[in-house]
Structure 1
Amino acid sequence: MANSYDLDFTYTTIDKIFRLSMGESGDYSGAKYDGDFSMPLEKAQKAKHKFIADSLNIKKGSKVLDMACGWAPFTKYITQERGATSIGLTLSSGQAKACQKNGMNVIVKDCRYLTPEDFGTFDAITCIGGLEHFCSVEEWKDGKQERVYRNFFKTLSDLLPVGGRYYMQTMTFSKNMLDHKDIDINAERGSASHVLALMMKEFPGSWLPDSPEMVINCATPHFKLISQSSGRLDYIETIKQWRKKFRKFNFKKYLLYLSLLPKYLTNKEFRHQVAVFKISPNKVCFEQEIMDHYRLVFEKIQ
């Protein structure tokens, strides 16, 4: 699994840049447009939050665990608009500090190893984008990917009562995924081989599920699937809107961009990581159906 060091660039180095672009509780996961791509990004993100809260039956007094919570936009929604209580978990110290400053109950903790002894049990749990980081390339190569996911669903089961629900969003590989040996950072710029290599640089220590069916199968025998939908097209539009916001001028933000210049000039790996500001590997992978994106709702059955 990706550790705190692996995720440092993606979620801590760009913390201030992200908040200056997206707002203090901006959402760094795919929005929900439902085909209406004229909708403003913020409205589509709120539509996603409402969909999740409705799917999990979150209401006043519900106790919710927000795994891989990012800058806590979902925690903010359910506490302010549903009257729920929430604990958010992240592996990024930058995210946690920002969330705490903004009054969100967020701590740095690895959600894979949570037990009822830590915070008790919950009425509902979310993990929006977290599963993408749970299995490393090395674990996949060693044939341990399904074991990683099964162990995680056992953790979830221990934290929920029978009938309790769990929501997740995750990227998966799709029908045009390449063989691992064909992924090459030196391949032609913009090619499938190149953008997949950039993905691995942006999210070190992470390997995606090969399909939603892999995840669903690993959820048994503890959970049944309530609903499943693809958010691939929604994610393409979300990324388009993110890129506009990242590029919009803000004096403080552009000073932060300049502060990264020395590292850019001296660190080859960092240059690969920040290449995402020039070419969006996620967007290309979604467009070419190298990757897909799914929303899954589960209910604990035993």
Structure 2
Amino acid sequence: MADRQDLEFTYSLIDRIFRLSLGESADFSGAKYDGDFSLTLEQAQRRKHDYVAEQIGIEPGRRILDLGCGWGPLLSDIRRRGAEGVGVTLSSAQAAACRRHGLDVHLEDARQVDRDRFGGFDAVASLGAFEHFCSPEEAAAGRQEQIYGDLFANVAGLLPDRGRFYLQTMVFGRNMIDPERVSIDAPRDSDEWYLALMGRQFPGSWLPFGHEQIVRSAAPHFRLVSAVSGRLDYIETIKQWRSRFAEPSLRKTLMKARLVPRWLTSSDFRLAFTSGVSANSVCFERELLDHFRLVFERI
């Protein structure tokens, strides 16, 4: 799994810029346009939260766990609906931001949440965290499905019979290349280079090979209720994010200035955050990546 240091690099290092661009509860997972790209980013994110709430039953009196809660957008929605939300993240900046807004968030490995310490839940959600649960090294060692299987077993132990688990994640798409070809030294516009750039942006993280691998791993404990691709929605979401990040702001300029020493000393930082391209967008457009909204029910 991507460790705390990896996630601090991706999410905590530029935490303030994220929140200045996307709001205090920065929603950094794919929105739900359903093909209607006239929606604003905020409307599409609300549509996503409505969908999650409908699928897993977020309503008063219910207790919901958010695995990899980010800056707390889903937890805020859970609270708005009158339910109790508990979140976990490995980013110290995200945890601090959530707590400032009164959200119940713990600095914790999502794979280690257990009933003894956290109690039971009526439903579980995870939006965009599954991508970090397996590292490239673990995948190369053939441990990917074991890791996913252990996660599903753990989540099942938190839920009642027929309790639901909403999972939203990127996966490798139908045009994914042989991972051994991925290289930052490949030609700049090649599939190999874009995938390597993503690896710099999200160190320690490896994706499932299609949603089918996830469904297989869940099978001993969960049945699949629905699986919907959100690839086109994610392309639009990234477009809107990039527009927000590009909006001029004195406070953002000052924050970026503080990162100059890191930019000068870290080639990984320069590649990850100042390459001038959106590796995610290109990979989705080329179908090297896909994006799925999966609803599971405990057997």
TM-score surpassing 0.5? yes
Verify the 8 A CA contact 2:174 2:210 in the aligned structure 1: no
- Which whole-Å CA distance do the structure 1 matches of 2:234 and 2:220 have between them? 30
Residue matched to 2:247: 248
SS at match of 2:126: strand
Identity of paired residues, percent?
51
Aligned position for 2:194 = 195
Superposition map of 1:170-181 within 5 A: 170-181=169-180
Residue type matched to 1:299 in 2? Answer: E
Secondary structure of 1:167's counterpart equals strand
- Distance in 1 of aligned mates of 2:272 and 2:169: 21
Does structure 2 retain, via aligned residues, the 8 Å contact 1:91–1:109? yes
Alignment of 1:2-151 (within 5 A): 2-80=2-80, 82-151=81-150
Whole-angstrom distance in 2 between the partners of 1:143 and 1:224: 24
Deviations 1:37-84 (A, max 9, x none): 01000000000000001000121111000110000100101111x100
How high is the TM-score relative to the length of structure 1?
Answer: 0.97
Return the alpha-carbon distance in structure 1 between the equivalents of residues 261 and 109 of structure 2: 32
- Aligned positions, number: 299
**1:275 positional shift:** 3.3
Q: Which ranges in structure 2 are unaligned for 5 or more consecutive residues?
A: none
**C-alpha distance in structure 1 between counterparts of 2:254 and 2:189, whole Å:** 28
C-alpha RMSD over aligned residues: 0.9
1:179 is displaced (CA, Å) by: 1.1
What per-residue deviation string (whole Å, max 9, x for no partner) do you get for residues 212-238 of structure 1?
A: 011001111211111110000000000
**Which amino acid letter does the alignment assign opposite residue 16 of structure 1?**
R
- After TM superposition, where is structure 1 displaced by more than 2 Å over at least 4 residues in a row? none
Measured in 2, the distance between the counterparts of 1:241 and 1:9 equals: 23
Q: Secondary structure at the match of 1:194?
A: helix
TM-score, length of structure 2 as denominator length: 0.98
**Equivalent residue number for residue 257 of structure 1:** 256
Q: Is the 8 A contact 1:198 1:275 kept in 2?
A: no
Amino acid at match of 2:204: G
Distance in 1 separating the partners of 2:201 and 2:166: 25
Is the contact made by 2:230 and 2:290 (CA closer than 8 Å) also made in structure 1? yes
Secondary structure at the counterpart of residue 71 of structure 1: coil
